[in-house]
Structure 1
């Protein structure tokens, strides 16, 4: 063996004994692919990893990779009130992956079970929208544990103590880097649609004259009552369909987030349009039709715009029997039912009485969950809200002193 061959052999042995050191870029490429909770954990290991995992470009890329929604669950936790023998109930929000992997189910945030003071209205791009009283809104990113305020709506004198619903859509506006809430200040007056945005001090009114004249705005359901919160896709918000004048035709109200105009588009051709829940599945708009007794139809919107058409591609059998127990399913029932998809082809459907995970690529049911109740026996309710991880540090969010939020502890 010549000297050159000996040197090569020695180098190979040395490399085998001491693997080459990873560069910062190598570490970054590994970390950006990790789940959110692992990224947070790795950021505490060393200064190098902390520097990587707090870099704005890294956080933005990690957020872009988080394409899978999680279903939000309400867990009602009973605890003893410290000053007396009474019991109070807190709501703990938990996130369940669409795959149905209960080992990855995790707690996000607790808040008091007081409808007037704390009400979860919507979720968008990793941020929860909470209403405190009338016209006051708090935004919370439960992963970064930071908060922001939206401008308050002007109060209108009322004779009763009922809180009137004024919120219609909550979304993230990418070009402005703002979280926005679409509202209607006065339900009895025209021209009062407005947008509340992070970083702004006052509501901004928008022109809805054409949509109001066409009666489109009267078809928009408020966030508290809609069976699914508006789906953000292709620069538009999509509300769930309503039945049209023709028996097997439905229509959907759509809001262009750039021009801020309302229009309508065709919904799935079904006779039970009021029982359809919409969701985004890997860039496709999907409708889950709960109007059948023993199965759920999945409608997919093929293409988008003028060439768009709906296709019924799957029927998902319900393994636990008729979920409406022989009675007619009402629209309000869908508020506590899930409909969500992920990039792996999984679709989660059902309620607290039973969930099913159907895979559209394998065309079969891959998992059923009979109950969501854990060993602590707390009540669990499936919500219509979705959650998507987001660690981006938004400029208008900040840590709040515990005195400002005495009932919230992450």
Structure 2
């Protein structure tokens, strides 16, 4: 067993516990910052916690948390504004201050978060929407992606046949020089994005994709009519197909929960969130699992001094096995349970990031040093 072998190769780490327990039951469960601090305790801990096998196991044990962002005015930033990346740790018993701890602050925060995959974040320009970079907030690595100039970003995925990380892009048909359609770019490659077979009849409009069963999924919006179409991209064959969904009006968000694909949407009056789950993924059968009633406008005004829904919400699996619903009301972020009751509320300008979740990782990636403007623990990190 690789884990046991890795532990046995080092000197005893703790006089009272077997090395295998210390390494594979204690250290492997620490948050990334705590694990990095523990490496200063002794050389043996530093050696064993730096192996790839250990770091993969450590990443596997990190919680997958809803990702929130905060844009703050900051005099230390050359741009006058900074971006805090905040995983929402909603485990029971944590104080509010511990639930919303920033893991990274970016000083050049014309960046917004567009994708999260294996602890990596794709950032885009908030004002220049086609300006992209990649970062790992746990290792504080950052690099630009100038090869993506002129493309629209659609998704990020690990390509299982090669082990590479790839980006799915879209080039509008009216764009100059390059044929319109879908393209794939491999991180670390010196080759330009390559065109892949596409299905141009239903263009992708949702900001973030859900990686489920080795495929990226997007709900396809149709203006003026309810949409029952999901566009699916196989990350193995790198080809598209279509999937049926409940016919829902307006914007809908996809999410993954306990091996099941889910979808949430607001009703026309924006007073109810419907949550659908696949009963059988292969036969594309869906069922309505929850209907969450938002607080009436009068109640919201009384409780929070506001009466306006901002149109952003997030639905994700909770760490206790239920569904987590977050809704933005003015400067408040409100957590609501399946009985339509307020579980928690935060008076901060927290922003949901289109169903994105972050599972932190210290696993090294060889592509980072090959990218333009690569830095570690330097600007834009603050």
Asked if 2 retains the 8 angstrom alpha-carbon contact of 1:282 and 1:343, the reply is: no
Report the TM-score when normalising by structure 1. 0.72
Q: State the Cα distance separating 1:121 from its structure 2 match.
A: 2.7
Kindly indicate whether residue 159 of structure 2 is the aligned counterpart of residue 179 of structure 1.
no
- Of 223, 230, 237, the residue aligned with 2:209 is 230
Kindly indicate whether residue 284 of structure 2 is the aligned counterpart of residue 289 of structure 1.
no
Asked if 2 retains the 8 angstrom alpha-carbon contact of 1:192 and 1:205, the reply is: no
What does the per-residue CA deviation read over 1:178-202, in whole Å, with 9 as the maximum and x for residues that have no partner?
2222112443265542212212012
Q: State the Cα distance separating 1:256 from its structure 2 match.
A: 0.9
CA–CA separation in structure 2 for the residues paired with 1:55 and 1:278: 35
CA–CA separation in structure 2 for the residues paired with 1:180 and 1:149: 15
The residue number in structure 2 matching 1:140 is 135
The residue number in structure 2 matching 1:396 is 367
The residue number in structure 1 matching 2:46 is 50
- Of 167, 181, 185, the residue aligned with 1:196 is 185
Asked if 1 retains the 8 angstrom alpha-carbon contact of 2:294 and 2:340, the reply is: no
What does the per-residue CA deviation read over 1:339-380, in whole Å, with 9 as the maximum and x for residues that have no partner?
22235224132125332243xxxx65686233242xxxxx43
| Aligned-partner SS, 1:383 | strand
Q: State the Cα distance separating 1:382 from its structure 2 match.
A: 3.1
1:54–1:39 distance in 2 versus 1, CA, 3 Å: same
Report the TM-score when normalising by structure 2. 0.77
Q: State the Cα distance separating 1:52 from its structure 2 match.
A: 2.5
The residue number in structure 1 matching 2:287 is 311
Q: State the Cα distance separating 1:255 from its structure 2 match.
A: 0.8
- Of 253, 264, 271, the residue aligned with 2:231 is 253
| Aligned-partner SS, 1:299 | strand
| Aligned-partner SS, 2:168 | strand
What does the per-residue CA deviation read over 1:10-42, in whole Å, with 9 as the maximum and x for residues that have no partner?
xxxxxxxxx984222121222223333433333
1:29–1:80 distance in 2 versus 1, CA, 3 Å: closer
CA–CA separation in structure 2 for the residues paired with 1:70 and 1:300: 19
The residue number in structure 2 matching 1:92 is 84
Asked if 2 retains the 8 angstrom alpha-carbon contact of 1:125 and 1:390, the reply is: yes
Asked if 1 retains the 8 angstrom alpha-carbon contact of 2:160 and 2:236, the reply is: no
CA–CA separation in structure 2 for the residues paired with 1:114 and 1:81: 9
Larger Rg belongs to:
1
1:201–1:341 distance in 2 versus 1, CA, 3 Å: same
The residue number in structure 2 matching 1:76 is 72
| Aligned-partner SS, 1:128 | strand
CA–CA separation in structure 2 for the residues paired with 1:241 and 1:135: 21
Greater strand share, structure number: 2
**Runs of 4+ residues over 6 Å off in structure 1:** 322-327
CA–CA separation in structure 1 for the residues paired with 2:228 and 2:218: 12
User: What are the ranges of 5 or more consecutive residues in structure 2 without an aligned counterpart?
Assistant: 1-13
CA–CA separation in structure 2 for the residues paired with 1:121 and 1:38: 27
**How many residues are matched?**
347
- Of 344, 351, 355, the residue aligned with 2:334 is 355
Alignment of 1:98-177 (within 5 A): 98-99=90-91, 101=94, 102=96, 103-112=98-107, 115=110, 118-131=111-124, 137-150=132-145, 152-153=147-148, 166-177=152-163
CA–CA separation in structure 2 for the residues paired with 1:293 and 1:136: 33
| Aligned-partner SS, 1:382 | strand
CA–CA separation in structure 2 for the residues paired with 1:248 and 1:184: 24
| Aligned-partner SS, 2:211 | strand
The residue number in structure 2 matching 1:338 is 314
1:104–1:37 distance in 2 versus 1, CA, 3 Å: farther
1:44–1:240 distance in 2 versus 1, CA, 3 Å: farther
Superposed CA RMSD: 3.5
